[in-house]
Amino acid sequence: MTTALLKRPTTLDTDLLLEFRRLAAIDDANNTFFDETHRHLQAAGHYTINLPVEVGGGGLNLLDTARHQRLLARYAPAAALATCMHLYWTGGATDLRNLGVEGLDWVIDDAMSGEIFASGHAEAGNDVSTLMSTTVAEPVDGGYRISGRKHFGSLGPIWTQLGFHAMDSTNPEQPLVIHGFVKRSDPGVTVVENWDTIAMRSSQSHDTVLESVFVPHERIAAKVPIGEDEGAAGTAFVWGLALISNVYLGVAQRALELATEALKAKTSIALDGRTLAHNPMLQHQVAEMWIALDGAASSLDMFATDWVNGVDHGPEWDMKLFAVKYRTSEVVRRVLDIAADVAGGGAIRTDSELSRLLRDSRAAAYHPPSHALAHEFIGKAVLDIDPEGPRW
C-alpha cells in the first residue's frame, strides 16, 4: 500500500482507498476517530488539495474538489465528510485570493503550515443556520469576546482552528453576524468529547464550548447584517454545502454498487437458479436508483461548474445552493432505502457495509439548510417577500 493519494488532481490511489474502507468499518464499530486514515491523508497532501499551486497546494477548484470528496466518500464516508469542514475554508480562501479579495490569505498560509480547520456553526436554538446565531460576540478593545456552545464540530480530536459565527447585538437597530476563527489553544476554548451517534461516527464531531474567548480583529473574516451571507462567509458556505452534498452522493453511489453486487450474487429458486438480477421488479428498483443518482450528480456538477466559471446567477445563487443541497439529501436517503430493500435482510446486519451507509445517509438531512428553511427561503424569494420583514 502507498500513501501517494493523488495520481492526478482528481484520481485517488485504489489500494489506499481500499484500506480506508477497511479502516472505516473498524472506526465506525468502535466509535473512534479515523486517526490512521487521517495520517495517510495528511501525508498525501489531502488537506492542501485546493490551495493555490504557487504556494505548494494542489490547485483544485470547487468542481474538482467536489468530485475528489465524492470518490473518497465511497470508501470512507466519515473521513470524507469531516475533511470537508477543513477544505471548505481552504477552498473559499483560495477563491477569494483569486478574486483579489483580501482577508483570508492567512488561512492559506496556516493550512500550508499544517493547521487543521473545522466548522463551528451548529447551535441549539438556531434554526436558520449562519444567518443568525445564539452565540454572543461582545465588542472589546482589539476584537471580540465570543461566548456560546457549538455542536457537530467534525475533526474534533485534531482541529487546531475553528471557524465560528456569533451575534453582535450592541446596536439593536442593526445587529451583525460576526464570522471568525478561534484557536484550540485559546483560553476559554473547551472541546467536549460527546460524539456518539448512529451516523458518521468516526467523524468525532464533538461540541465546543467558547467561554469569553478573545478573538482579535485580524482573525475576524466578515461582519454581515443578520439574514445575509456574503464575502468570506458566503464563499465558505457555497464550498461547504457543495462538498458536503457530494460526500453524501458518494455514499449513495456506493450503496447502488453494493445493491447490484448482491443481486448478481443471489440466486432464486423461483427463477430456476438464475440470479435475482433477472427479477424485473428489482431491475426497476435498480433503474430508479441510477436515474435519481444521475440527476443528483448532474445537478451538483452543474452548480460547481457555474461557480468555477463565474456564471452570474445574481440573487439566485443562494436559492440554487439551498436547492441543490436539499435535492441531494432527499435523493441520497431515498436511494439508501431502496438499496437496503434490494439487497435483502443481510443489509441490516451490524457488520454490513450497506447497513453502515444506511446509517450514514440519515445525517444528510441535518446539514443546513433544513427541509423547512430551504423551502421558506426559496419560497419567499420566488414570491418577492421582503426578507427584512416579519419572518411569518
> Tens digit of pLDDT for each residue in 282-339?
999 999 999 999 999 999 999 999 999 999 999 999 999 999 999 999 999 999 999 9
CATH superfamily name and code, 118-225 = Butyryl-CoA Dehydrogenase, subunit A, domain 2 (2.40.110.10)
Given this model, what pLDDT does residue 2 score? Answer: 44
What are the boundaries of each domain within the chain? 6-115, 118-225, 231-382
Please tell me the predicted confidence (pLDDT) of residue 12.
74
pLDDT by residue (tens digit) across 8-31? 444 578 999 999 999 999 999 999
Cell of 186: 485559546
pLDDT lower than 70: segments of the chain: 1-11
DSSP class of 261: H
Which residues, 6+ apart, have CB-to-CB distance to 139 below 8 Å? Answer: 168, 170
Of 225, 227, 235, 221, the C-alpha closest to 317 is 235
Q: Which three cell numbers stand for residue 385?
A: 417577500
- pLDDT value of position 222: 92
pLDDT score recorded for residue 367: 96
**Could you give the CA distance from residue 15 to residue 12 in angstroms, rounded to a whole number?**
9
Q: Is the peptide bond before 225 cis (omega within 30 degrees of 0)?
A: no
Q: Are the C-beta atoms of 339 and 285 separated by less than 8 Å?
A: no
**Rounded to an integer, what distance in angstroms lies between the CA atom of residue 239 and that of residue 216?**
25
User: Which residues are CB-contacts of 304 (< 8 A; sequence separation ≥ 6)?
Assistant: 61, 62, 63, 66, 242
pLDDT of residue 11: 57
The SS3 call for residue 161 is strand
Q: At what angle do helices 14-30 and 62-73 cross, to 10 degrees?
A: 60
Residues 6+ apart with CB under 8 A from 143: 214, 215, 216, 217, 219, 220
pLDDT at residue 6 in the model = 47
Residue 329 CB contacts under 8 Å (≥ 6 apart), including other chains = 245, 248, 364, 365, 367
Cα 300 to Cα 249: distance, rounded to the nearest angstrom: 9
- Dihedral sign, Cα of residue 164, residue 151, residue 230, residue 71: positive
Going from the C-alpha of 157 to that of each of 41, 108, 214, the distances in angstroms are 15, 22, 22
Strands 189-192, 206-216: pairing is antiparallel
Sign of CA dihedral 67, 68, 71, 76: negative
Fold observed for domain 231-382: Butyryl-CoA Dehydrogenase, subunit A; domain 3 (1.20.140)
Domain 6-115: CATH superfamily, name plus number: Acyl-CoA dehydrogenase/oxidase, N-terminal domain (1.10.540.10)
Which cell numbers in the block locate residue 367?
Answer: 446539514
Helix (H, G, I), strand (E, B) or coil at 174: coil
Query: How much is the pTM?
Result: 0.95
